[in-house]
A and B are shown apart, each in its own frame.
Chain A
């Protein structure tokens, strides 16, 4: 199954990322992203870039939005272009098609995050040299990469459901963008909407949260892993040949 997944990942990347002619646009947007997160922002932040959690947010989370285009193209696009049925008529199993497509976008986002992180470190070491090699703390670096992986799996799998419920790529893209925005912003909006008493309570417990930060992060990873497993199982149930062929 791993080999079949690799074939599909190669196909998706070739079709969307490395395609000739129309691929220029995706290369340009990728280069802009790398220049922003790997050079410009580290240059503006200096050595802080390697310690500041805000930097982690930039190189680890922003590329996730690039998964949207890829996952939508892999499912809604394939259906819109009438190639999904041909793929379903091959020897590939439902699971290898599903996972191959999900991981094509997951690995894409993850690779960009790794490159951004490494470019940022190189930029800081060149422009703000302290005489010794500067790098992210292991917790920040590996935690960031793990978080990207888990969130990318979550977003891509949600992308499968959204794509299969959308008539066109454009519609799927819009729906998924809105869903991701909602996931990001609804918690902030909800916190603002809480009564003052609740907000004061949060402020009171925040030093306690800081003291147990590692525990909380481990807990969050646990929640993310559980969420990934649940959405992947649901997607596996949803992505059935007999059902897809009739849609």
Chain B
């Protein structure tokens, strides 16, 4: 198996005047969880379609599991599982029949198919309701079934478009654990799109941000957070006052200083040591409970990136 499960080079996809994907280049390492983040209409789904060989790129190239998306898309689909925008379940069939159908499509022998269906449905706590018609199920149950369907043929790589959408918090947490387990224990590469940035922050090894077809950044969630908030320090404590803020703002290295609900957030012009600030605050009689350096959330970093592009 190649070290890179996915590799794109200046990938383009244009529909008329619209550049849905505009020259994106990134790599996804085998056996990792890769989060593909972006607002609605950013080009996430088009990218998945390009990677699955469902769409022909207008320019550039992409390799998935070592196969070229233009010329070897059959091999890509043979080795990948995909949950696209919709669950794509056959609602007039039962859960068992749905999974069995996809087992048949991948030519899994009958006995192995039955075993796999049981194993996957049990894992998702759906086994007891396997005979029920899917149309009678809740949205969350359908979503879980759609996710396990992508795993039916033991794919090397799965594309999941908003997999936890519609799941209750417990089910979503369970699914996240399963995804992590897939990548860590079974070496499956997971390519995940999500609007839930906290989710991406929790489980993804690396994330990419796309907007208006352009790739804004790629890196680990930590790298991304730091990229956009390296020079900020948040101090949680008591004793902040206006005079202190004025004094801080007047310092040459400090860009801004704000207090919000016992949180002092100081943005620096360049990277700095938190010790100096702590010493200064302690000298001013501030009671410090906690100091966080550059720990903005992924969501903040994401929003900053989008703002910067705009």
Known contacts A14-B97, A19-B92; A245/B54 CB under 8 A: yes
Q: Output the nearest chain B residue to A23 by Cβ-Cβ distance.
A: B92
CB-based contact B15/A7 at 8 Å: no
Residue of A whose beta carbon sits closest to that of B54: A245
How far, in angstroms, from A89 to B101 measured CA to CA in the complex? 14
- Give Cα distance in the complex from A139 to B172, angstroms: 64
Residues on A with beta carbons closer than 8 Å to the beta carbon of B102: 90
Cα of A245 to Cα of B78 in the assembled complex, Å: 18
Interface flags, B85-128, vs A, CB<8A=1, else 0: 11111111100010001101111000000000000000000000
**Stretch in A77-85, A114-122, A191-199, A211-219 touching the partner:** A77-85
A90-B77, A91-B74 are contacts. A7–B54 as well, Cβ < 8 Å? no
The answer to the question of B52 belonging to the interface, with a C-beta cut-off of 8 Å to chain A, is: yes
B245, CB-defined interface residue at 8 Å = no
Residue of A nearest to B106 (CB): A91
A21 smallest CB distance to B (angstroms)? 7
The answer for the CA separation of A54 and B305 in the assembled complex, in Å, is: 75
Complex: how many Å from CA A20 to CA B132?
Answer: 10
- Pick from A14, A81, A242: contact of B55, CB under 8 Å: A242
Considering the chains assembled together, what is the distance between the CA atoms of A10 and B15 in angstroms? 36
B49's partner among A7, A83, A245 (CB-CB below 8 A) is A245
Indicate if the CB atoms of B105 and A92 lie closer than 8 Å.
Answer: yes
Could you give 18 example pairs across A and B, Cβ below 8 Å? Answer: A4-B105, A14-B97, A19-B92, A82-B88, A83-B86, A85-B84, A86-B82, A89-B52, A89-B77, A91-B74, A91-B77, A91-B105, A91-B106, A92-B105, A93-B74, A242-B54, A242-B55, A245-B54
Query: Which residue numbers of B lie inside 8 Å of A, CB to CB?
Result: 15, 49, 52-56, 74, 77-78, 82, 84-93, 97, 101-102, 104-107, 133
- 8 A-B pairs with the lowest CB-CB distances in the bound complex, closest first: A86-B88, A82-B86, A89-B82, A91-B78, A7-B104, A19-B92, A245-B54, A83-B88
